[in-house]
Amino acid sequence: MIEVAGDSLYIGCFEAEDLAKRFGTPLYVYDEELIRYNYSRLLRAFRYKWLEILYSCKANSNPWILSILRDLGSGLDAVSPLEVLLGIKLGFPKDKILFTGVNVSDEEMLFIRGELGVMINIDSLSQLERYGRLFPETKVSIRINPGFGRGHHRYTITGGITKFGIYPSQIEKAIETSRKYGLKIAGLHMHIGSGIYDVELYLKGLEILLNIATRLGGIEFIDIGGGLGIPYRPGDREMDIDLLGFKVSELLEEFTRRYWEVKLRIEPGRYIVGNAGVLLTRVIDVKEIEHAGEKKLFIGVDTGMNHLIRPALYDAYHEIIPARGSNRPREVIADVVGNICESGDILARDRRLPRIEEGEILAILDVGAYGYSMSSNYNLRPRPAEVLISGCSVKLIRRRETFEDLIRTAELESLASR
């Protein structure tokens, strides 16, 4: 569990401050117990008998985290050849991996379908045609864009007029192409966005998929994608996953009664790992300015948009608390800013916080999804280390990057002597 006890933040048995001292900062810390709990919440909510959870590994692809999910029986939603390869190497069953790419080249399909033997979820009519030529008489899945979507930011909406999927108006053409190459459409898929709190929208999309399924016949699975929203701000609403699970299960049970047994797939990423990660960072420089009649307080930390891009990219909110004295009264309003040379490198804007001293450890919460996985080496800064807490044990699951990881030293030496 990740919680404030007494006046300090704990992850499992460990005080966040001690972890920061022991492993250095910035540091990503994950809680295994929460990951397991979130997974079990999904199983409880979606009671449909033929449910398969395909963890969306773009949210967090640390191999240790993936292996926890593999052991729980999860499959994998993969969006790049190397995500598929990682899943195979970690022992995820091939028939529980689905590759959903965009702008997928023939070379990528030859690798994923041909070499690795993983099913491809087709994103466009062109890809279907090329797939048919390469792999006639095989099974495919089709990503349907139902024409609407939702997300916590416009960049995370994937249904509607976006680059993703095959539109309902293109289905006839898709069927024709599949016939031409003897393809069997085994799966129908949608993923309409990320950070959705609205149950109805999923049901509307699911109905479209089920209608297409009855027209096509022989569908083996219906995949409603990921996107389940989680709360980030104190007081934020939560996606009612029990209601969603209940309604989706009900629709599928009815389909199964009337037609045939079909599997239900869901592809959550954020829901499983989002609240299970924190980023610990040290306060380096507290700067108070007064200029042109304006006052501003900046709390400068040793991480930034290179390690957590969500605030800069989506204006996303992440709660930030001091690791010790977490419950101190919030007396100041400040921007928490990173150490990257960009003025947009703001982790929290005009945030009400306690008075913070230089040297303190801050915890940025709910960064288990799309934190490390979207990090970069911008400004030639190494990525942080990652540790996994499992109750009272702690494991370094990725070491901090070094200069050598970023630059091939041998090459550098030969360049220096030129």
Pairing between strand 75-78 and 51-56? parallel
Cβ-in-10-Å burial (0-12, 13-18, 19+) of 257 comes to: exposed
CA 60 distance to own-chain centroid: 6
- Among 56-64, 238-246, 334-342, 351-359, which window interacts with ligand LLP (CB under 6 A)? 56-64
Q: For residue 102, what are the contacts with CB-CB under 8 A and spacing of at least 6? A: 79, 123, 163, 164
Site string for ligand LLP, 279-318 (x = CB under 6 A): -------------------------------x---x----
Whose Cβ is closer to ligand LLP: residue 370's or residue 372's? 370
Tell me the residue type at 178.
S
Using CB under 6 A as the criterion, what x/- string covers residues 370-399 for binding ligand LLP? x---x-------------------------
The yes or no reply on residue 60 touching ligand LLP (CB under 6 A) is no
**Residue 191's closest CA among 218, 163, 157?**
157
Name all contacts of 234-239 with Cβ < 8 Å and 24+ positions apart: 234/319, 237/197, 238/197, 239/196, 239/197, 239/199, 239/271
Q: Which listed range, 52-60, 132-140, 178-186, 337-345, lies at the site for ligand LLP (CB under 6 A)?
A: 52-60
**Which range in 20-28, 226-234, 376-384, 388-396 contacts ligand LLP by CB under 6 A?**
226-234
Q: Which residue has the tokens 């053409």?
A: 173
CB of 229 to ligand LLP, least distance (A): 8
**Nearer residue to ligand LLP within complex by CB, 101 or 322:** 101
- Active-site residue flag, 392: no
Q: Is residue 364 near ligand LLP by the rule CB under 6 A?
A: no
In terms of Cβ atoms closer than 10 Å to its own Cβ (0-12, 13-18, 19+), residue 350 is exposed
Query: Residue type for 269, please?
Result: G
- Residue 205 binding ligand LLP, by CB under 6 A: no
Q: How far is the CB of 185 from ligand LLP (least distance, A)?
A: 17
Active-site residue set: 341
By the criterion CB under 6 A, which residues form the site for ligand LLP? Answer: 56, 58-59, 77, 79, 100, 156, 191, 194-195, 225-228, 267-271, 310, 314, 369-370, 374
